[in-house]
């Protein structure tokens, strides 16, 4: 069995944003030489997410509005976490809803996805560099 590990780095200049990282993960898969197995892609920061969905701008807008209704950024005083001097209590909750990672099957050297499935990095407390781990295991 082979394994492969790579870190991808992202810097979202705004507080929140979604980046399609499917092509970067596909490049990692090519580099790995693995044809059958699994890929794990996970955000290595507690205010960021990795998830699978459609790459459709309306959906991304809907996510933004929905997440802001679930965990509004302001007033920042509503979150006990922000008593530590932070202002990102909402980002922790948004990450919890969107998830930490994805696991996808690798078949014949390709991500074994259904129609429209793409991998996204979700940022909920941006303006600094953060990393995503790509770990591929298989043969």
CATH of the domain at 77: 2.60.120.460
Which burial class, exposed, middle or buried, applies to 83 when counting CB atoms under 10 A from its CB (0-12, 13-18, 19+)? Answer: exposed
Would you state the pLDDT for residue 8?
A: 98
Domain around 76: 2-138
Would you state the pLDDT for residue 14?
A: 96
DSSP string computed for 116-133: T-EEEEEESS-SSEEEEE
Q: What is the pLDDT of residues 40-84, one digit of tens each?
A: 999 999 999 999 999 999 999 999 999 999 999 999 999 999 999
Q: What's the structural domain count of the chain?
A: 1
User: Residues near 90 by Cβ (< 8 Å), separated by ≥ 6?
Assistant: 71, 72, 73, 76, 79, 124
The structure's pTM equals 0.96
* Closest to 48 (Cα-Cα) out of 135, 114, 109, 132: 132
Contact of 9 with 77, CB cutoff 8 Å:
no
* Closest to 63 (Cα-Cα) out of 13, 123, 22, 14: 123
**Spatial separation of the C-alpha atoms in residues 84 and 98, rounded to whole Å:** 24
Contact of 139 with 32, CB cutoff 8 Å:
no
């Amino acid at each position: 069995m082979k394994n492969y590990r790579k870190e991808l780095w992202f810097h979202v200049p705004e507080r929140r944003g979604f980046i399609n990282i499917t092509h970067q993960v596909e490049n990692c898969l090519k580099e790995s030489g693995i044809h059958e197995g699994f890929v794990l892609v996970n955000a290595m920061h507690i205010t960021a997410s990795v998830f699978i969905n459609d790459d459709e701008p309306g959906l991304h807008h809907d996510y933004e509005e929905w997440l802001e209704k679930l965990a509004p950024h302001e007033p920042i005083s509503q979150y006990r976490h922000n008593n530590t001097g932070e202002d990102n209590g909402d980002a922790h909750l948004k990450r919890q809803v969107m998830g930490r990672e994805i696991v996808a099957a690798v078949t014949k050297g390709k991500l074994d996805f259904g129609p429209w499935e793409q991998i996204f990095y979700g940022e909920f407390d941006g303006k600094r560099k953060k990393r995503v781990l790509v770990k591929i295991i298989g043969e």
